[in-house]
A and B are shown apart, each in its own frame.
Chain A
Amino acid sequence: MTMAIASLGGRLPMTAGRRQMLLVVIWGALILVPLWLPLLGGYTALAGRVLVFGLAAMGLNMLLGFTGVLSFGHAAYFGLGAYGAGLTLRYLVHSTPLAMLAGTLLGGLAGTLFGLLIVRRRGVYFAMCTIAFGQLWYYLAYSWNSFTGGFDGLRDFERQPIGFGPFTLHIEDGGTTFYFFVLAVFAVAVAIMGVLLRSPFGRTLVAIRENERRARFLGIPVERHIWLSFSISCFFTALAGTLYALLNNFADPLTLHYTLSGYFVVMTVIGGMRTFWGPLLGAAVFVSLQDYISSMTVNWMSFVGVIFILVVLFFPRGLLGTIRRQAKA
């Protein structure tokens, strides 16, 4: 698995050694979180949040960075994942894996169907349709009081321990066990994503991004690929959403709101949207900055807004993108 992801940076001007280093650093840092994060004034729940948002942003980046299509409505699939998981736990069955499955399917399938409608749109119009469609789910969750809990959010469900034969994984306590559970899910998802992007399918997506017209001349069914990319990306984001519901034991309408979509996009851009690991790095930076600033001042919105503006004006390639460019130079 590590090898699969390692060789992902096909376009990365890195030596194999440096690539290995990067991977060791990333996974090492993630696994050792419970050791070093408290020393930096963080807390484990924050790391869980970074992983969840990082996964959502990496899912989005499959579309945004690797296919070159902008969705500004991915919170919808994230939120549907969260609601799917929460509703399953609350009304259907007390099983964490089934809840995650249901949430991922709900968000992923909604994205797949909607993708069919808008796959011919491009650029800013595509983005606009995704925003509007995302808000549809927001209003649905917000106004369907009896089923979704409405404005107050869906509650009264709890993540359940997972049994493996004689062993039971007690994720219900939160803390470190749950963090490692999230990390394991993240690792599996990211491995699948890596394999997909390395496959001929993934290469085709990049070809479409680089030059859609040429891809079309080469006989590539462009619409079908964009649709598939949108759909798969929604599945990953929905999976992240199910983890978010488990993290909070809660799902609320704002997980479906376009503000969160904007956060996902900015995480992706901060980290570097044409890089595989960029969104995770962006999520780490954005989540910790927001967490820190919003404790410091009521005017955190201005700071977050200024971050958006500065990134766009002065830092459009993002962290990893810039590093890579310098390595190339």
Chain B
Amino acid sequence: MSNTTLSVRRRTLLQAGLALGASQVVGAPFVVRALGDQPVKIGMVDPLTGVLSALAQSEVDGAKYAVAEVNKKGGILGRQVELLVEDSANDVGTGVQKTRKLIDRDQVDAIFGDVNSGIAYAMSQVTNEKKVFHIVPGGHTDPITGTNCKWNVFRVCNTTTMDAEAVTPELVKKFGKKWFFVTPDYAYGHTLQDAFVKALTKLGGTYEGDMLPINNTDFSATLIKAKAYKPNVLLNNMGGLTQINCMKQFTQFGMQNEMGLGGALFELESIKACPVEAQTGWWDFEWWWNQPNVPETVKFVSDYRAATKKTPSARDWFGYVSVHSVRLAAEKAKSLEGPKLAAAMEDMELPPDVALQPGKVFYRKGDHELMPNIFVGEVHPLKGTADDYLAVGTLVPGEKAAGTVEETGCKMVEPS
């Protein structure tokens, strides 16, 4: 008796599965529309699950917001924009597969991604092979716009070199030239520390440091070494949660009274995960929302908060800029073909309502790197209620921090 009910249940399950499959079949391929009605498709691959998910989510939020904004104003070249988001799960294999899927099946016009620079690079191999326009909103390692630069790949966020060059003079001026590095032991960490060492030794500094596993949780051994070295600055190169744990233990050990704390990159998402006592140090922010003197930014922030109930972070801005860059480039090129979009992007300047900061912000022709300002400042615990965590010290122009194109090692090969 019970046996029959069971098998019935199994069969319904199967049928439900079939129905699910069938609905997918009907959805995608058989619909043929005139080109003018067909949306402009942008594929976005980001690690929405896994340790980088908070940053990825912000990038997607920013991109979605921009897409809604663009669509309200008539879309790109008169066509509505559709954003197809795929989760790379912080896994290179999945990221590559999702990229192929977006290109082969969905036939997207542009690809964004990934927060993880390893995945971003792997994706760029695919997009380059398929000649698809590709923007890397937030993967930082140098080679993407340096030694491995590609004609179809542009980047919004800074290189590690830019971040290091921007904050180093500030830290040296504030605290001194003897530094101790805490660095994660993988490609991103290595390039970041190399960039800092270069910037520091240029100013006559000395250093020591430890390389730690990426997901290291306990920093006490390293901090004891650091304390014995008596540096002026403890430079925290760790990323995400490990960065926070390092700072937390640093302050628990009372070391903030003996040395300065700082590093290249800190993010609004991470500050919020910090306990109050660890919200400290001198850092780069690649974009910061609180710019009372820039009316475009003030308006953007209030609109964004109204629409999404959150304060935009640098990551939201990356996603926002990426979408608008496609729009601007397409309008300039009057086309969505990869090579034409890429040509239009070179030396393209962002208008104030996209740049959302003072000064000239543009994609440099030689290496396809965006040249924004870098916000160097001191992090403090929340003041007031509106995510006010940062006292901005200086704005360093990106071009000054980036060095010349020759120094990046980029040799652009144009499409055949």
A contact residues vs B (CB 8 Å cutoff)? 38-46, 49, 142-143, 145, 149-153, 155, 174, 244, 248-250, 252, 254-255, 291-292, 294-295, 298, 300-301, 310, 314-315, 322, 326
Contacts and interface: CB of A to CB of B under 8 A. Distances in A.
Given A145-B190, A295-B86, A41 B122 contact: no
Contact of A254 (B49, B92, B213): B92
20 contacts: A43-B104, A45-B100, A49-B97, A149-B118, A150-B187, A151-B118, A152-B186, A152-B187, A153-B92, A155-B121, A155-B122, A248-B92, A252-B92, A294-B86, A294-B87, A295-B86, A295-B101, A301-B49, A314-B10, A315-B10
Which of B84, B91, B98 has the largest count of A CB atoms less than 10 A from its CB? B91
Contact of B25 (A41, A45, A174, A248): A41
Contacts of B213: 143
Given A248-B93, A298-B49, A314 B13 contact: yes
Contacts, number: 102
Contacts of A291: 97, 101
Given A152-B121, A255-B93, A143 B101 contact: no
Given A42-B105, A250-B122, A292-B24, A151 B187 contact: yes
Contacts of A155: 121-122, 125
A156 to B, nearest CB: 9
Contacts of A149: 118, 187
A103 to B, nearest CB: 15
B327 to A, nearest CB: 24
Interface in B1-20: 6-7, 9-10, 13
A90 B87 CA distance: 28
B280 interface: no
4 nearest A-B residue pairs (beta carbon): A152-B118, A252-B92, A151-B186, A41-B28
B104 A45 contact: yes
Interface of B: 6-7, 9-10, 13, 24-25, 27-29, 48-49, 84, 86-87, 89, 91-93, 96-98, 100-101, 104-105, 116-118, 121-122, 125, 129, 185-188, 190, 213-214
Contacts of A300: 49, 87
Contact of A145 (B10, B100, B122, B187): B187
A310 B92 CA distance: 29
A40 B91 contact: no
Contacts of B28: 41
Contacts of A254: 91-93
A120 B100 CA distance: 44
A182 B131 CA distance: 25
A150 B93 contact: no
A314 B9 contact: yes
A41 B101 CA distance: 10
A322 B10 contact: yes
B25 A40 contact: yes
Given A40-B25, A41-B25, A152-B117, A252 B93 contact: yes
A321 B48 CA distance: 36
A45 B101 contact: yes
